[in-house]
């Protein structure tokens, strides 16, 4: 699997297998095991997905050495604040059954953000986490947080696909060498996207499917993508994107599909209230 370099000189596999909304106690275990068998070396989970333990078990049982796998997890809001975050990190390490996590993100931009960030920074110094990052952070939120951070985030994981290209955010993040990571890279299976004329005609040209064209475009934009699939064929197909290249004109034709409107607005106070209320443990 190809990698991108991060601003702390660590390397990250350019495509990760996303396990959002795959249930624990079986389905995430099976999906992660299948993904590792298919060749994925980057798994993206979160405390908030409540399936870290299945990811950990699958990694153990896969036979793939731990150091060849890049694990991302995320701290949930309920565990924000300096002291709580330290316990949250412990819980993720335990659930994943690992000595270190490759990348750990603050999942949502609310609550005691900088207290939590300080706990993440300390975990990096202690070697329990290799890289730290942010997620769902808009330019306004970034301007609110950035001066309180000692360590630079390596990534900002946001909604990103051809309909939601986050162009201004990408330009702002690039000033700090912070890479974007794409959640919902396939628009969460959005038919309008997967059946879009521009994308389908490129799929026909390169003998690929629409998902592969989108993931190749995201890769050529320098963005890490986290596609999710529980279907083995699509799972395998989604990393089979390194045997063709979109030319400049084709890249631009997909850039022209941007609506400029993410479906999720992290600055909406209703989202903040809803997410702050989601409990993942007692």
- The CA distance from 42 to 32, in Å, is 10
- 3-state class (DSSP) for residue 212: helix
Catalytic residue among 29, 40, 49, 113: 49
Q: CB-side exposure of 141: number of CA atoms within 13 Å?
A: 21
By CB under 6 A, residue 200 contacts ligand A2P:
no
Stretch that binds ligand A2P, among 6-14, 87-95, 230-238, 273-281 (CB under 6 A): 230-238
Stretch that binds ligand A2P, among 80-88, 101-109, 179-187, 247-255 (CB under 6 A): 179-187
- The CA distance from 172 to 192, in Å, is 29
By CB under 6 A, residue 228 contacts ligand A2P:
yes
- Among this protein's residues, is 49 annotated catalytic? yes
By CB under 6 A, residue 19 contacts ligand A2P:
no
Looking at the Cβ atoms of 187 and 266, the one nearer to ligand A2P is 187
Q: Is residue 188 part of an annotated ligand binding site? A: no
Where are the strands (E) in the chain, listed by range?
3-5, 11-13, 17-18, 42-44, 70-75, 101-106, 129-135, 155-159, 179-183, 224-225
- Here's the x/- map for ligand A2P, 50-89, by CB under 6 A: it reads as ----------------------------------------
Looking at the Cβ atoms of 230 and 271, the one nearer to ligand A2P is 230
Q: For helices 248-255 and 210-220, give the axis angle rounded to 10 degrees.
A: 100
Candidates 37, 144, 146, 188: give the one binding ligand A2P (CB under 6 A). Answer: 188
In sequence order, the 6+-apart residues with CB closer than 8 A to the CB of 38 are 232, 235, 236, 239
Question: Which of 223, 103, 213, 114 is closest to 158 using CA atoms?
Answer: 223
Candidates 50, 114, 151, 194: give the one binding ligand A2P (CB under 6 A). Answer: 194
Q: Go through the chain and tell me how many residues it has.
A: 282
Task: Summarize as ranges the residues that interact with ligand A2P (CB under 6 A).
Answer: 18, 184-189, 194, 209-211, 227-231, 234, 237-238
Which residues have a catalytic role annotated?
A: 49
């Amino acid at each position: 699997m190809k990698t991108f370099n991060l601003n702390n000189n660590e390397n990250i596999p350019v495509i990760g297998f996303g396990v959002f909304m795959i249930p624990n106690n079986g389905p995430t275990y099976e999906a992660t095991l299948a993904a590792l068998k298919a060749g994925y070396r980057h798994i993206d989970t979160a405390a908030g997905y409540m399936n870290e333990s299945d990811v950990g078990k699958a990694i153990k049982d896969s036979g793939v050495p731990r150091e060849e796998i890049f694990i991302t997890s995320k701290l949930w809001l309920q565990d924000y604040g300096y002291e709580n975050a330290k316990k949250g990190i412990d819980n993720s390490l335990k659930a994943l059954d690992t000595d270190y996590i490759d990348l750990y993100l603050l999942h949502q931009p609310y609550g005691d953000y900088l207290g939590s960030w300080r706990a993440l920074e300390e975990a990096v110094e202690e070697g329990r986490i290799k890289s730290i990052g942010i997620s769902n952070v808009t330019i306004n939120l970034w301007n609110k947080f950035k001066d309180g951070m000692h360590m630079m985030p390596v990534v900002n994981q946001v909604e990103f696909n051809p309909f939601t290209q986050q162009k201004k955010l990408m330009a702002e993040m690039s000033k700090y060498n912070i890479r974007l990571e794409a959640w919902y890279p396939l628009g969460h299976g959005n038919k309008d996207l997967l059946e879009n004329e521009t994308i389908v005609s490129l799929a026909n040209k390169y003998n690929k499917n629409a998902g592969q064209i989108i993931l190749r475009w995201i890769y050529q934009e320098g963005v890490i993508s986290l596609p999710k699939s529980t279907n083995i064929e699509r799972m395998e197909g989604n990393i089979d994107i390194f045997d063709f290249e979109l030319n400049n004109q084709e890249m631009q034709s997909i850039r022209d599909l941007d609506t400029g409107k993410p479906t999720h607005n992290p600055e909406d106070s209703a989202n903040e209230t809803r997410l702050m209320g989601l409990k993942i443990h007692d």
